Amino acid sequence: MPASPLAQNIAREIAHLVMSGELAVGAHLRTQQLADKFGVSRSPVREAMEILSQQGLLEQRENRGFFIRQGPVASLDDAVSDVPKPFEISDEYQRLAEDWLTDRIPAEVTEQMLRDRYAITKTQLSDILMRAAREGWAERKQGYGWRFLPVAKTPEAFEQIYRFRMVIEPAAMLDPGFLLDRKIIDEQRRIQSRMIETDIHRLPAERLLHNGSLFHEELIKMANNPYFHSSLVRVNRMRRLLEYRSRVNRERLFEQCEEHLAMLDLLQRGEIAEASYAMRRHLSGALSRKSPIAWSWSQQSQGEHKQEN
């Protein structure tokens, strides 16, 4: 029996996390954690891992579950060829996001209302809403329907987010609870180095934006203050849709990754105050380059401007 479209889509998501290095070779994949990450039940996640096991990306160990195996996935694309790749933004997803950003739809909706508006199937809608939930701008209501969450819808709000980050991120490094975590530093160094070596020109823009946000969210974890971390995660989600609408300046990302690596060097040497200053300078420079903000998905937009994460 063919795998369900939802399971195939989740298989693509997991495969890309492995290929981009976010999930390391040898890691144990936990079904409930992935189900929570993708906003689905455990069943399609298990089905997705079985697909990847058949294609050689995962290894199923008796009584232990699935582990990431070393080596290429030779025929994953053939196995899930009818499903959009996880970092391709579908027309329907674009329309839904644009309608929410421009207040054409209410904050609370039903699935039937969305199916009628966009003339899509239940499966298509499920994939779109799962992606919106994963990216932090939609959530399922208790009982019935969906709720769209606040995002940065204006240049002013976008700038306020960056000014907020310029306050909390450098300050978090100077907080008495800040403790260096070598595992975080080593993992982020690996991701940023790989970005420079191969990923900037290879990965989709959405993944590049994700890796940029992840760097800052992982560093602020070392303050051991959950309010710092949850606040940064929330504002990053609020700005994400606007950044997806703009064009990523891939050449600028090389400089950004070098700045990230320089901060990691300072932290590893224990030069915390210097790293805090470097973080503020890094964010200030990013803000100055992000104005004006590009607003459109297409050539019919108000203009084409460059943007990076």
Angle, to 10 degrees, between the axis of helix 91-101 and the axis of helix 122-134? 60
- Say how far apart CA 263 and CA 278 lie, in whole Å: 7
User: Quick one: 103 exposed, middle or buried, by C-beta within 10 A (0-12, 13-18, 19+)?
Assistant: exposed
- Taking alpha carbons only, the member of 254, 256, 241 closest to residue 287 is 256
CA 40 and chain centroid, separation: 17
Residue length, the chain? Answer: 309
186, two tokens: 């080593």
Could you give the CA distance from residue 197 to residue 47 in angstroms, rounded to a whole number? 34
The structure's pTM equals 0.65
Give tens-digit pLDDT for 96-107. 988 988 889 999
**pLDDT given at position 155:** 76
pLDDT in tens, 145-181: 999 987 777 778 788 889 999 999 999 999 999 999 9
What is the side-by-side order of every strand in the sheet holding 146-148? 108-109, 146-148, 138-140
Residue whose tokens read 């090389």: 254
Distance between CA atoms of residues 185 and 187, nearest Å: 6
Domains 5-79 and 91-148 share a fold: yes
- List CB contacts of 108: < 8 A, sequence separation 6 or more: 141, 145, 146, 147, 148
Q: pLDDT band at 203, cuts 50/70/90?
A: confident
The domain made up of 5-79 has a fold known as: Arc Repressor Mutant, subunit A (1.10.10)
Q: Nearest-CA neighbor of 237 among 158, 154, 149, 136?
A: 136
User: For residue 191, what are the CA distances in angstroms to 54, 95, 99, 187?
Assistant: 28, 32, 34, 6
Q: What are phi and psi of 271, to 5 degrees?
A: -90, 75
The pLDDT score that the predictor gives to residue 154 is 73
Task: State which amino acid sits at residue 51.
Answer: I
Residue 190 has pLDDT above 50, yes or no: yes
At residue 79, does pLDDT exceed 70? no
Give the whole-angstrom CA distance, residue 21 versus residue 225. Answer: 27
Select the CATH number that applies to the domain covering 155-307 from these four: 1.20.120.530, 3.10.20.440, 3.30.465.10, 3.30.460.10.
1.20.120.530
Could you tell me which residues are beta bridge partners of residue 60?
A: 66
**120-142 tens-digit pLDDT:** 998 889 888 887 887 778 888 88
Give the model's pLDDT for residue 222.
97
**Per-domain residue ranges of the chain:** 5-79, 91-148, 155-307
- Fold that domain 91-148 belongs to in CATH: Arc Repressor Mutant, subunit A (1.10.10)
Per-residue pLDDT at 80 exceeds 60: no
